[in-house]
Amino acid sequence: MKYLRLFEQFLSEVKDSVLAGGESKVEVDSVITIKGKKISAQEILGAIISSTTEKEIEQYFYDKYGEGSFSIEAMSAIKKAYNDYKAEQAEEEKEKEKEEEGGGEGEGGDLDLDI
């Protein structure tokens, strides 16, 4: 016999924190609103990934849960996770550019022959 779980049941059973990717060091934690509603780390991570600015992620949560629903600490935790994620993405982008820049010099790209 198969047991089916509701989406809410699944979210309540998952971890309270998740990593932002396979090799990521950014950990996103669940947040509890002032009204006692738990916002899962998965939902926060999804909002972080889909947002382009810090203001956009803040507005998303205010629109969904209400402006008075978050303590300063809770919203600060969400913003910190967003900023950490974006900083990590920017760092990865710089590394990719460095690799592309250094790799395009031919077979002996690192050899400097000043004759």
Instruction: Give per-residue pLDDT as tens, 73-101.
Output: 999 999 999 999 899 888 888 888 888 88
Q: What's the pLDDT tens digit per position in 36-71?
A: 888 888 888 889 889 999 999 999 999 999 888 899
Residue 1 lies in a domain: no
Q: Where are the alpha helices (DSSP H) in 1-115?
A: 7-13, 41-50, 54-65, 72-103
Q: What is the number of structural domains in the chain?
A: 1
Asked whether the whole model's pTM tops 0.85, one would answer: no
Rounded (10°) angle between helices 41-50 and 54-65: 130
Query: Is the residue at 73 inside a domain?
Result: yes
Structure tokens at 9: 């049941």
d(CA 79, CA 54) in angstroms, rounded, equals 7
Q: Quick check: is 25 in a domain?
A: yes
Tokens for 54, please give them.
Answer: 């810090």
How many Cα neighbours within 13 Å face the side chain of 106? 3
**Contact status, residue 73 vs residue 110, Cβ threshold 8 Å:** no
Residue 92 counted as domain residue: no
Structure tokens at 75: 């919203």
| Percentage of the chain modeled with pLDDT above 90 | 22
Query: How far apart, in whole angstroms, are the C-alpha atoms of residue 85 and residue 77?
Result: 12
| Residue range of the domain that includes 59 | 8-87
